Amino acid sequence: MAETTDITASASGTFTLGGDLPVHRLGYGTMQLTGKGVWGWPEDREGAVRVLRRAVELCVNLIDTADVYGPYVTDAFIREALHPYADDLVIATKVGFTRQGPGQWTPVGRPEYIRQQTELNLRNLDVERIDLLQLHRIDPKVPVEETVGELKALQDEGKVRHIGLSEVSVEEIERARAVADIVSVQNLYNLTNRKSEDVLDYAAENGIAFIPWFPLATGELSGPGSVLSSIAAEHGSTPSQLALAWLLRRSPVILPIPGTKSVEHLEENVAGAAITLTDEEFERLSALS
């Protein structure tokens, strides 16, 4: 296997969001750049900036953030590290959550809140239009049609290019699609948790990007002598790299966004995009869940 620094995210292939926004399939998620409980600033602010700049150097051109990461901590880092933004850089952000403290998350989907947070995202990221704005969670107190309707209004005003969803069912996606074009879905999905298989299949059938969050969980599957560890050893890779390679092989609509606050781990993750699994290896890994 090549040195990690010789491999870029271009090895993961390309997906075109909404038919007009090409990105390398391996992206980067910023949530780990915050303080404990996804709250406040991290101890190493300079390190966060270094990671973001290194990600772009490695041809990562899909950066995932959210207004509630910090809140606004990751947006500030993105702006400091990468502004003015490269023409091919896609910043995906999210609205629809509120924060009351470390580890606390409460969905709010009222149209006036969605609009306020979108305006703040535009200001904090210093962009005139958000490339991909995702509804972070559906608020059970607000019909999804009403919340997505406000996102569609913002899109019609030119403030949002594309609309996505997060942690949704197939039925909820279809309700949202009756109101606006949905180009991405971001659900929990990894080698050990595949409860969203039906959502992934629906996304693939409809040309919708599927962005798995928490993509590199391996847990007990990576123990000594396990299938995962054995195949990783054969490739000279880590279990996490193999988990990433499995995701990229699983479907061409999957866009993993592994996050880290370490340049070394970032380079390791990017190198995982170059791993090619055999059919037999893919099936053995698929059978683990």
Q: Establish whether 202 is a catalytic residue.
A: no
β-bridge pairing 21-24 and 14-17 = antiparallel
What residue has token string 């995962």? 228
> Is 21 strand, coil or helix?
strand
Residue for token pair 């479907």: 251
Strands 21-24 and 28-29, sheet pairing: unpaired
| Whole-number Å distance between alpha carbons of 269 and 63 | 14
124 membership: H or E segment, kind and range:
helix 111-125
207 CB neighbour count, 10 Å cutoff: 13
Retrieve residue 197's tokens. 């298989």
**Using an 8 Å Cβ cutoff, are 125 and 75 in contact?**
yes
Catalytic residue among 69, 72, 113, 189: 69
Catalogue the active-site residues: 69
